[in-house]
């Protein structure tokens, strides 16, 4: 054994086989001489009953003094219970963000990643997740190792999305389909939220111990507060009537009217099945809405319209608004929606505006947030039990009032009041009407009972 210095290392001779020269001052520190002539610094140590060897680096790249200092650091780690060789192996095998996303999407498509209320994510949600992963997360962070991610990396990726650095115009799988990727604050907030869920998935797999997304300040996603004014409702009513009279885009016009009168989501109305319409209960019994199974009270204008469709020829179809092919729902809504409204003051609004407007009208009429939440199927107030056979009459009354008011606006009525009538005379009249429907027992029947 000898002290490893530049002079002693330069004097080493190659042999037919590799061999190691150990340093006499630092036990475990040595120089490996290869038969090829290359030389590298190594550290030999024992951990968990096994002998392990760690290569520091090649002589020439490392000087003897630098290698000695590194060896002291490594041996210090071993003394504290560390295992540098194993840590390097795990570091080389560390999964990247792109590899993690691939594994996440495989489990997502197999229904193994659960969303709200412990249910697998829906196909539409999966499609949105795929878009955010492929167009934002992978381009910005795909090559990074998951275990090396820090909060600063997440914050920078979020700022890049906000600044539009992932902006793109890409072709989709659909025929002539294009996806316009713009970025922005809302996209950044939702993408980082999704990435937080992916990293929670990584924690469950034991890949990381902490989620670096936690604590990242995301931009507040701007809530679309757009609602229709009374005049805009009248404009919409005129547009829908013309579409029906012309016989063009008639189905789309009817779908729009149902969305406006119920506050349902676009997908819920387009995919509404005949078996989900409960005429007697004055409600829709949706089997698979965004919130799962959901019962939606509907107002009399909607009830009478859906009842009328039962008598039509297409009422025999599985869907209330059937498509061209058997067992398919209507599929031309987005294109025809744009076509119907493009030359009106409503160009640019989305179907969600009708849903928000329905809730706003309900608030104007004096109904509580809980009542409105139950009518539109919001997660905070949705009626979900499939065992509910009779919907609360108060909810039906609310649905009647809101749908009737909106129907009047669509028909061009100018209301003089903006709140549901709660004056004493109106309440007495309503109570008298209700009690007057009760049939009194005859005197003979009373005597017989006595």
Work out whether strand 50-58 and strand 39-47 pair parallel, antiparallel, or are unpaired. antiparallel
Q: How far apart are CA 331 and CA 175, in angstroms?
A: 14
Quick one: pLDDT at residue 289?
83
User: Which residue segments constitute the domains of the chain, with CATH numbers given?
Assistant: 6-92 (3.30.160.390), 97-204 (1.10.150), 230-422 (1.10.443)
Show the low-confidence residues of the chain (pLDDT under 50): 314-315, 386-387, 443, 445-450
Rounded to two decimals, the pTM is: 0.67
Which stretches of 264-311 are assigned E, i.e. beta strand? 277-278, 283-289, 292-297
Quick one: pLDDT at residue 399?
94
Residue 214: half-sphere exposure toward Cβ, Cα within 13 Å = 6
Quick one: pLDDT at residue 380?
61
Phi-psi map region of 412: left, alpha, beta (phi>0 left; psi -120 to 50 alpha): left
Quick one: pLDDT at residue 382?
57
Q: How far apart are CA 272 and CA 98, in angstroms?
A: 38
Quick one: pLDDT at residue 224?
65
Residues 187 and 320: beta-carbon distance below 8 Å: no
């Amino acid at each position: 054994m000898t002290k490893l210095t530049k002079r002693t290392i330069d004097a080493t001779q190659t042999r037919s086989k590799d061999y190691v020269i150990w340093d006499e001052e630092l036990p475990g520190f040595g120089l490996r001489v290869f038969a090829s002539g290359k030389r590298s610094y190594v550290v030999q140590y024992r951990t968990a009953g096994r002998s392990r060897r760690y290569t520091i680096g090649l002589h020439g790249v490392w000087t003897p003094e630098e290698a000695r200092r590194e060896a002291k650091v490594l041996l210090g780690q071993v003394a504290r219970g560390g295992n540098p060789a194993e840590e390097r192996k795990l570091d080389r095998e560390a999964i990247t963000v792109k590899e993690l996303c691939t594994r996440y999407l495989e489990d997502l498509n197999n229904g193994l990643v659960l969303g709200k209320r412990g249910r697998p994510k829906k196909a539409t949600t999966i499609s949105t997740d795929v878009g955010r992963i492929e167009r934002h997360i992978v381009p910005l962070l795909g090559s990074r190792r998951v275990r090396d991610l820090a909060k600063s990396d997440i914050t920078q990726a979020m700022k890049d999305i906000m600044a539009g650095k992932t902006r793109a115009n890409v072709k989709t799988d659909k025929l002539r389909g294009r996806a316009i990727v713009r970025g922005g604050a809302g996209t950044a907030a939702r993408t980082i939220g999704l990435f937080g869920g992916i990293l929670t998935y990584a924690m469950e797999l034991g890949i990381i111990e902490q989620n670096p997304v936690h604590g990242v300040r995301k931009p507040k996603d701007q809530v679309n507060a757009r609602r229709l004014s009374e005049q805009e409702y009248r404009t919409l009513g005129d547009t829908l009537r013309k579409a029906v009279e012309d016989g063009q885009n008639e189905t789309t016009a009817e779908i729009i009217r149902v969305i406006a009168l119920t506050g349902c989501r676009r997908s819920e109305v387009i995919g509404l099945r005949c078996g989900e319409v409960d005429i007697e209960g004055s409600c829709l019994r949706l089997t698979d809405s965004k919130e799962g199974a959901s019962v939606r009270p509907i107002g009399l204008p909607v009830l009478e319209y859906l009842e009328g469709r039962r008598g039509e020829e297409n009422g025999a179809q599985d869907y209330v608004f059937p498509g061209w092919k058997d067992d398919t729902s209507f599929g031309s809504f987005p294109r025809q929606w744009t076509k119907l409204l493009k030359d009106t003051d409503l160009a640019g609004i989305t179907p969600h505006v009708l849903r928000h407007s329905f809730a706003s009208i309900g608030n104007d009429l004096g109904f509580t947030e809980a009542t409105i939440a139950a009518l539109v199927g919001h997660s905070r107030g949705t009626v979900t039990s499939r065992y509910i056979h009779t919907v609360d009459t108060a909810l039906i009354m609310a649905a009647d009032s809101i749908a009737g008011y909106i129907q009047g606006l669509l028909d061009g009525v100018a209301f003089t009041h903006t709140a549901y009538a709660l004056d004493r005379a109106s309440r007495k009249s309503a109570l008298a009407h209700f009690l007057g429907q009760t049939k009194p027992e005859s005197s003979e029947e009373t005597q017989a009972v006595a």
